[in-house]
Amino acid sequence: MRAAVPFGRYVLLEKLAEGGMAELFLADVTGEAGFARRCVVKRVLPDLAELPDFVTMFLDEARIAARINHPGVVQIFDLGRQPEGYYLAMEYLAGEDAHRVLERYAELGRPMPLALALKIVSDAAEALHHAHELRGANGAPGGIVHRDVSPSNLLLTYHGAVKVLDFGIAVARERLGQTHGGWAKGKALYMSPEQVACRGVDRRADVWALGVVLHELVSGKNPFASGAVAVPLRVLRPEVPAELERAVSKCLERDVDERFATAAELRAVLDEVATTHRLGMTGGQLGTELRALFGEAHASAVIARGQVGGPAQVRSGGTEPLVPAAAAPTTALARRGRWLGVWAAVVMVVVVLGGAALLWRPREVEVPVVEAPVAVVEEAPVVT
């Protein structure tokens, strides 16, 4: 009989991904009286578990994520340590990331519906604004900035939700880069000018990234893939409302004072566009669109995988290392290996419409880091 791998109070069922920092597992957490819950465990790689600087940044990620309690942000519900090293446990999300969704529309030869693009960015803006507004225990601004907003970090669930992933990882990248050679990695095509220049950033860096994402979802192309000047949306897609084109242009102002001051301001404009042009979309409609896009059989399999007793590839031998399953249904959390690869030295070529590579991620490039104050939220207790 096949057996899963015990890991503290968790049972690791299947390796989902492995990158340069950590590995992800589909897992069950067990408790008293038969309690069980399907989740995802993110475990630090053994060769990094003893590096103090790395452990510090990993814990920073957990503390930042633990402070954010919003339905539009993936929930981290446990931080702990086993002999193998530190780990995070997070909710399992049955869905597809926005990058994969955009790829699927390209495969079908049609653009993403404007209503869906507006829904994704509006909901993401709401979640980001909530994080930007968080304050520390002393009432001072928390200074949380995501710094890594991109289609691959926005997940759409088959239940109709939009979730922002990976809060804190960008700050972690910068810290790790400063410790190892003075370099930081980021998705350059989504980074604001001030972030690329390694100047101090605030919430308006995330507003810039939302503008890039919105342009890409609507047009099918990253606005900076071919150069430093973004092509106006209506040149690429004439049916785009003029108000939407102006909103994207305002997000992409190089002068930070000319952008929307907050993600909430951007959201208000996008919601007005949706109302005026009858482009509104409910969560239920989002889920229906996703099921139609990927097929009911695939959607059902992904949802079932998140249920205790659902399909998973387990391995015999008790504590033998689990290996990634080749053919199991894949979710966005199962594809986190790309953002985990912050140690990779190869610059990946960005291809938005190029094929159906399910595990593809936007390229990461290296930019020099200089000393700059980084605001990190105060340490909050995490229940283990």
Q: Which residue has the tokens 């919003």?
A: 70
Q: Up-side HSE of residue 227: CA atoms within 13 Å toward CB?
A: 3
User: What does the H/E/C string look like for 229-276?
Assistant: CCCCHHHHCCCCCHHHHHHHHHHCCCCHHHCCCCHHHHHHHHHHHHHH
Phi-psi region at 219: left, alpha or beta (left = phi > 0; alpha = psi -120 to 50): alpha
Helix (H) or strand (E) holding 131: helix 114-133
Q: Up-side HSE of residue 357: CA atoms within 13 Å toward CB?
A: 12
> Do the Cβ atoms of 27 and 41 come closer than 8 Å?
yes
Q: Up-side HSE of residue 172: CA atoms within 13 Å toward CB?
A: 26
Q: Per the residue annotation, which of 28, 78, 97, 148 is the catalytic one?
A: 148
- Three-state DSSP at 44 gives strand
Token reading at 300:
């059902």
> Do the Cβ atoms of 107 and 356 come closer than 8 Å?
yes
Known catalytic residue at 148: yes
Query: With the C-alpha atoms ordered 375, 379, 380, 383, is the resulting torsion angle positive or negative?
Result: positive
> Do the Cβ atoms of 376 and 64 come closer than 8 Å?
yes
Give 285's contacts (C-beta < 8 A, 6+ positions apart): 115, 160
Query: Residues 253, 258, 260, CA angle at the centre, nearest 5°?
Result: 90
What string of DSSP letters covers 50-71?
A: T-HHHHHHHHHHHHHHHH---T
What are residue 186's DSSP bridge partners?
365
> Do the Cβ atoms of 112 and 217 come closer than 8 Å?
yes
Query: With the C-alpha atoms ordered 279, 283, 288, 289, is the resulting torsion angle positive or negative?
Result: positive
Helix (H) or strand (E) holding 378: none
- From the CA atom positions of the chain, what is the Rg in Å? 20
Phi-psi region at 318: left, alpha or beta (left = phi > 0; alpha = psi -120 to 50): left
The catalytic residue positions are: 148
